[in-house]
Chains A and B, each alone.
Chain A
Amino acid sequence: MFKELDPLLHSQLRLAVMSILLSVEEADFVYLKEKTEATAGNLSVQIDKLSEAGYIEVEKSFVGKKPRTTCRITPVGRQAFEDYVNALKGYIDM
């Protein structure tokens, strides 16, 4: 019996964001936007969804007068990602 793929991660942009955050300590919104080549609005929506699920932590601050959003993966997100990759392996080995 195959595990169902986590619908929150099985989407191109959210998976890209999670993959980046998995390999770094933290990344800011501009960096994520540049790496994923997403629009600011779409990225913002997807980050909110990941944050609501507890997969990532979002920290909003100011550098001078400019707002800065920093994201980092949580232990819950890391576990979800691991489960997702294991489930993927199951499908591919089929």
Chain B
Amino acid sequence: MEEKRLTEKESLELITQMIHSSKQNMEVGNGNQFLYWGYCTAGLSIALFVLITLTHSFIWTWGWMFLFGVWPLIAYKKRQKPAAVVTYTDKVINQVWRVLGWMFAFTFITSGVIEILLYRQADFIIMLPLSLLYCGLGVSITGIIIQERWMIYSPIVAFVFCIYMLTMLIHDESVTLLWYLYFGLSFVIMMIIPGHILNHKAKQACSKN
């Protein structure tokens, strides 16, 4: 593109063309974040289920703490390869997940403190249903923002498991190891599948361009 003076009509055409062109790139790579979290969480759920079943040791429940290690890893990966363009949509989605991330951390600390004060031990079991709720909300809101139908509705599975777990806890029913598998399955449905769908659509959009 040369630096030349334009007619008024050419100016308006150029503005329209550039705005349209920058909007075409909105979805590229969006699915990766979902895939990192989805695979890590689903993998960890299955690993912990297997380990506890085989060893009968509940020390493995602390394995959930590995998820706190995923957070800085993904942030580091993002810093290593920053996006060429950040749209307003990306900014809003990042803000939504930031709020949910803080909600997750706040719930973890608060539930731990309350359990230790009341029962002198913390098993953090409340984190399973609440994590499903927070992540489900995040995925659904993201789906609404980027107008991706599968993402809007796929967290319904997570919400059903969340309500089931909370109902069991309220009625003092015993927590079973199957909860770990329900948790993992929810992440497969609400994060891994939408992540692959997003990446597939992005690839298609790129090949068209």
Contacts and interface: CB of A to CB of B under 8 A. Distances in A.
B68 to A, nearest CB: 25
A25 B86 contact: yes
A25 to B, nearest CB: 4
B1 A36 contact: yes
A48 interface: no
Given A22-B19, A37-B1, A63-B82, A15 B11 contact: yes
B56 interface: no
A11 B5 contact: yes
A52 B118 CA distance: 62
B6 A24 contact: no
A14 B21 CA distance: 16
Interface string B81-119: 110111110110000000000000000000000000000
Given A15-B11, A88-B12, A26 B6 contact: no
Contact of A27 (B2, B4, B22): B22
A72 B100 CA distance: 27
Contact of A12 (B14, B84, B90): B14
B8 A88 contact: yes
24 contacts: A12-B2, A12-B5, A12-B6, A12-B14, A14-B3, A15-B6, A15-B11, A15-B14, A16-B1, A19-B14, A19-B15, A19-B18, A20-B19, A23-B22, A26-B86, A27-B86, A36-B18, A37-B1, A38-B1, A42-B2, A63-B81, A85-B15, A88-B12, A92-B8
